[in-house]
Amino acid sequence: MDFPLWVSVLISVLCLISSGLMAGLTLALMSLSVSELNLLATSSPSPQRAKAAKKILPLRRRGNLLLCSLLFANMAINSVMSIFMTTYLSGPVAVVASTFSLLIFSEILPQALFSRHALVVGSALSPLVYAVLLISLPICGPLAGLLTMVIGEEEEVREEYSKAELHALLELRGCLSAEEQAYVGGALDFCDRCVADIMTPMEDVYTLSDDRIVDAKTVAEIHASGYSRIPVRSSEHPAQIVGFLLARDLLMLDVGREEHHLTCGALLDVYQHELLKVSPDVRLDRLLTTFKSGRAHLAIVSRTPHAVPSVQGRRLSSSMGSVPVNLGSVDIGIVTLEDVFEELIQDEIVDESDIFIDVHKKKPVARSTNSRSASTLPALVPPVEARASTRLPTAAEVETIVETISRNVPAVATTLTAGVLRRVVEHTGLRIVPPFSYIVARGKCTRSLSIIVSGVAHAVDCEEDHEPLVGPVALSSDGLTSAQGWTPGHGVQCGNSP
């Protein structure tokens, strides 16, 4: 059947455009995996992209039928175009013209364009694709079924990336800021790091000996160090850490008193903070789980944390559970919760008391020159005055004092357990007050609790008469545990005998 020239040319052009659409749609739709479309449909921040993915997803789930239909349509259109081109071009010229026109306008240009905008184009032309599927179903349906029998239906493939590939993918996509990328990168590498990678070596750790007296000088030294947790080493085995003190443990100590004889070891026995010992090869995710449980926020890194006879009866906790102090192990450093967080966020956390930004690199923190130095603390501690002689209480006196506090000072009795209260009393000196000496001064704010264990005292500097105070009796107020303390309304003076 002969067609006019203009009809043949018009049909050839329409076939060329249709062939380009089929080739472009084949590449665009088949390049979108089912898993990628599911991800876009459920979690894309763009509503337009999510809507487009939902339109394409039903088509893409019929992958074999979609592929057969588009390829069949493309081949049929190309054949029709070749037939019509031979009506107005000679044989060799028609072959060359159809080949180059199909290559350029039906393959190269459509595929280059559609591959870059696959989601948008596929969504916009989805009605056309449904029409092609419907028209070609009688032929392509059996072909798709045969293809499914031979190679199976396309399954939703979950792409798996290694951590290194995820790092590279984040850098290539550029969808995160540098800070966000550091956070994600730190999280990806977190489980691959171990304690040895982030610990502070023991030579860089501020420690105290367990026989060190906690006096004003010691408190000033702790304040100057800027640390909230102070590891305590054994005086008999200096390579062993036997516990740690919190800086807040020292708040209630009257370090200006001459009779104060508490050592770091005695405070360890009073507070009994759980001490964790971990191996250098413990993974950070496991250590973080332990820290999150609230058992401790500091751990000692030890090469061989296994149980052998204990030092001074103190029991520690290792990565294997609670074990005695190991004389055969070597404590090589410490690791804190802050170290773990720094590794997680890939940045240094610097607080107001830090001396170095990074203790390993010894890079100091820039501080304002007008800030108060910790060296001024000793000047704030009152000097030790000449006082009456002191001694530690006997067992009977300890029982008397504990009973008096439990009965008359509920603010303290409800704050400390009976065991802790008893240990505090055992290490607190008793003052033998000379006759007519003041025990409590009127109008002088204090946070101290005074107990008259034995003897007689009198209320002085008051308008009303009071009965003599006969020990044991507690001198305190409801404001004892408040931040402001309490101010006595009258003084208390020792009688004419100690």
Residue 12 lies inside a defined structural domain of this protein: yes
In this structure, are 213 and 277 located in the same domain? yes
Mean pLDDT over all residues of the chain?
76
**Residue-level pLDDT at 335:** 92
Could you tell me the pTM of the whole model?
Answer: 0.51
Residue 221 lies inside a defined structural domain of this protein: yes
In this structure, are 61 and 205 located in the same domain? no
Cis peptide before 472 (omega within 30 of 0): yes
Among candidate residues 221, 333, 198, the one with its CA nearest the CA of residue 276:
333
In this structure, are 314 and 447 located in the same domain? no
Tokens describing residue 327: 């004389």
In this structure, are 104 and 242 located in the same domain? no
In this structure, are 218 and 309 located in the same domain? yes
Residue 305 has pLDDT above 70, yes or no: no
**What is the tens place of the pLDDT at every residue in 230-270?**
999 988 888 889 999 988 888 767 665 555 567 888 888 88
- 261 burial level (CB within 10 Å; 0-12, 13-18, 19+): middle
Residue 318 has pLDDT above 70, yes or no: no
CATH number, residue 214: 3.10.580.10
Domain boundary pick from 344, 361, 378: 361
In this structure, are 245 and 353 located in the same domain? yes
Contact 271, 416 (CB under 8 A): no
**Residue given tokens 């420690």 in the structure block:** 207
**Residue-level pLDDT at 89:** 72
- Region 320-344: what's the mean pLDDT? 72
In this structure, are 432 and 351 located in the same domain? no
Residue 183 lies inside a defined structural domain of this protein: no
Among candidate residues 140, 139, 13, 4, the one with its CA nearest the CA of residue 80:
13
Residue 390 has pLDDT above 90, yes or no: no
Residue 378 has pLDDT above 60, yes or no: no
Of residues 451 and 364, more confidence is placed in 451
Q: How many domains does the chain have?
A: 3
Of residues 132 and 183, more confidence is placed in 132
* pLDDT band per the 50, 70, 90 thresholds, residue 42: confident
Residue 478 lies inside a defined structural domain of this protein: yes
Residue 366 lies inside a defined structural domain of this protein: no
Residue 238 lies inside a defined structural domain of this protein: yes
In this structure, are 396 and 325 located in the same domain? no
Residue 384 lies inside a defined structural domain of this protein: no
Rounded CA gap, 111 and 388, in Å? 99
**Residue-level pLDDT at 386:** 35
Residue 188 lies inside a defined structural domain of this protein: no
* pLDDT band per the 50, 70, 90 thresholds, residue 367: low
- Region 401-423: what's the mean pLDDT? 77
Spatial CB neighbours of 80, under 8 Å, sequence gap ≥ 6: 11, 15
Rounded CA gap, 256 and 219, in Å? 10
Among candidate residues 12, 189, 202, 31, the one with its CA nearest the CA of residue 105:
12
In this structure, are 131 and 249 located in the same domain? no
**What is the tens place of the pLDDT at every residue in 450-491?**
788 777 777 776 767 777 777 777 766 554 555 456 677 677
Please give the residue range of the domain that contains residue 28: 5-151
Q: How many CB atoms lie within 10 A of CB 5?
A: 10
CATH number, residue 397: 2.60.120.10
In this structure, are 144 and 244 located in the same domain? no
Tokens describing residue 111: 């595929």
Contact 140, 72 (CB under 8 A): yes
**Residue-level pLDDT at 324:** 43
CA angle 251, 253, 256 (to 5 degrees): 115
In this structure, are 267 and 338 located in the same domain? yes
In this structure, are 267 and 219 located in the same domain? yes
* pLDDT band per the 50, 70, 90 thresholds, residue 444: confident
Cα 420 to Cα 412, 414, 436: the distances in Å are 11, 11, 33
